[in-house]
């Protein structure tokens, strides 16, 4: 059965798993095959069981977290990330993508996304960007038009 660790009391050596059916199951660290990976939010597989207090889990195996992060279609190995930074840059206003009036479907080509109308020629705007640098000195740059910068930074900080 599959589940997610919802509560983990490291000092006491036990916690709870929410299984695929929404049930909370007790587990103890001695029933975990790879205890070094136990943490709240970790995905697990386990054998369902019961004990004198209710539902339990044994043969718990914590699934290794993904080794990659995917940002705007780019796959970046997590251990290869050296640094990241957010900065602003002046760009032509007509470069903005009209997300509100765009219908994305399978097979739609990117050149079908139209810029917003009504911008004056030469008008500039401030665009927030995220730069991710790897230990191999590859730099990936993403704009606020492509991704939610704040949410992506939260994810990067949690890695």
pTM more than 0.85? no
Mean pLDDT of 110-130: 67
127: phi then psi, degrees, rounded to nearest 5: -120, 130
Q: How far apart are CA 76 and CA 152, in angstroms?
A: 13
Go through the domains of the chain in sequence order and give each one's CATH number.
Answer: 2-62 (2.40.50.140), 68-158 (no CATH)
Look up residue 124 and give its two tokens: 């500039």
The two tokens of residue 130 are 């995220």
Q: What is the pLDDT of residue 18?
A: 96
- Spatial contact of 129 and 153, defined as CB atoms under 8 Å apart: no
Tens of pLDDT, residue by residue over 76-98, are 888 889 999 999 999 887 755 54
**Within the chain, what is the greatest distance between any pair of CA atoms?**
74
């Amino acid at each position: 059965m599959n589940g997610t660790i919802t509560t983990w009391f490291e000092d006491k050596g036990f916690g709870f798993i929410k299984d695929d059916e929404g049930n909370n199951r007790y587990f103890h660290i001695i029933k975990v095959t790879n205890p070094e990976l136990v943490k709240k939010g970790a995905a697990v597989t386990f054998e369902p069981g019961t004990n004198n207090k209710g539902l339990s889990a044994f043969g718990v195996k914590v699934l290794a977290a993904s080794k990659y992060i995917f940002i705007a279609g780019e796959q970046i190995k997590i251990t290869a990330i050296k640094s990241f930074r957010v900065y602003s840059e002046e760009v032509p206003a007509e470069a903005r993508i009209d997300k509100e009036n765009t219908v994305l479907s399978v097979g739609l080509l990117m050149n079908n996304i139209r810029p917003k109308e009504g911008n004056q020629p030469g008008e500039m705007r401030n665009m927030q960007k995220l730069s991710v640098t790897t230990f191999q000195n590859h730099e990936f740059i993403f704009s606020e038009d492509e991704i939610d910068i704040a949410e992506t930074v939260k994810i990067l900080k949690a890695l």
